[in-house]
Amino acid sequence: MNAEKSLLFLPDISGYTQFVQRTETEHSRHVIAELLEVLIEANTQELSLAEVEGDALFFYKEGEVPSQEKLLAQIETMFTSFYSHLKMLEKNRICPCAACAKAPELRLKVVAHGGDLGFIVVQGNRKPFGSQVIEAHRLLKNSIDSDNYALISKDLASYIGLPSHYRSKVFQFANGFDAYDGKKVEYMYALIDPDKLSLSTYHQAKKVVMDSPPNLTFEKEFPVKASVLFEYLTNYAYRSYWVKGVDKFEYQENQVTRAGTEHLCVINGKHLNITAVTRGAAPGELVYGEMTTSLLPFDVFYQFYSVKAIDESHSRLVTETYWKTRSILKKLLIALVVKRGFIKNGSKSLEDLESFIRQREGRGAES
């Protein structure tokens, strides 16, 4: 390959603007951030990342263009990783918000272009610059009647020897062109069918089935609608405001909580590894649970939060705590000492949660 030519590679998440406009902003931002990270991790050709452009990534490979086989494999890997992650989000979702519900409708388009690159330095950062960079971005605005495709400019296709009507299981290329500033730019494009991709396996969290009544139950009414209360419960960023006595919470900030999500709770220097779980829910009920095997003296410890709407501005929360242990001594310790502490702390946590929510929602002591 000619060492002078460089690759320009742009994966772009389709439907992002509409997704953000019609869904909850915070969760849509987290979903997009996760997907962008997935695409970055799917970079198998050591492409350099020039920019994160909102809903798109701008990669390049200076002075080198991968072979036809490697470029198509890179494109396929991007699509496979993207749709594998969407499938995982769909199957493990516990959040009822529109952002999480609509995430599986997002699509991906990838544009690949080649040319001679120039560079500029902006605040110490060296970035690709020039007419080929402009042309690559313009190719994202094309007349293809789809939001789910791979596009390779005709110049790049010719350079790597990609036949005009290349066919494979994943790619079935057709020819197209558009005019930009009076210049005709030809390209090849293939609509991508996710069903033809070899999607990666993912861990699908199983619903927990409890075979005994809860060891502890608390119930409280809150002056917010059910979906808002559920967000306060499941968003770990709020946890320290109403769960006291914890040194710190460690979690993935750019991640929507779902079944299988893990976070770390540090209490008196001891690390508790906690996994988000769920169980069956009654109609109109939102359920979120947590499980840990690192909380002594329990062998396994579960806590479920069940939220139901009372009306448009009020909801009821029921917390159910389950624990299991095989040791007779541990059972005695729990009965004589530990349970009493959980009763006290459980009630206090719900009171603190109500105070925090009232403050956040700008409500007074009475609603």
Q: What is the rounded end-to-end Cα distance, in angstroms, of the chain?
A: 71
- CATH architecture, range 6-196: 2-Layer Sandwich (3.30)
Residue 251: pLDDT over 80 = yes
Residue 367, pLDDT score? 43
- CATH architecture, range 216-361: 2-Layer Sandwich (3.30)
Cα gap 173→187, rounded to integer Å: 10
Residue 122: pLDDT over 90 = no
Residue 3: pLDDT over 90 = no
Contacts of 301 (CB under 8 A, 6+ apart): 291, 292, 293, 295, 321, 322, 323
Give domain limits for the chain. Answer: 6-196, 216-361
Cα gap 149→77, rounded to integer Å: 13
CA distances from 110 to 71, 200, 259, 365 (A): 11, 19, 30, 53
pLDDT digits (tens, 9 = 90+) for 163-190: 988 999 999 999 999 999 889 999 999 9
Residue 207, pLDDT score? 84
Q: Do domains 6-196 and 216-361 have the same CATH topology?
A: no
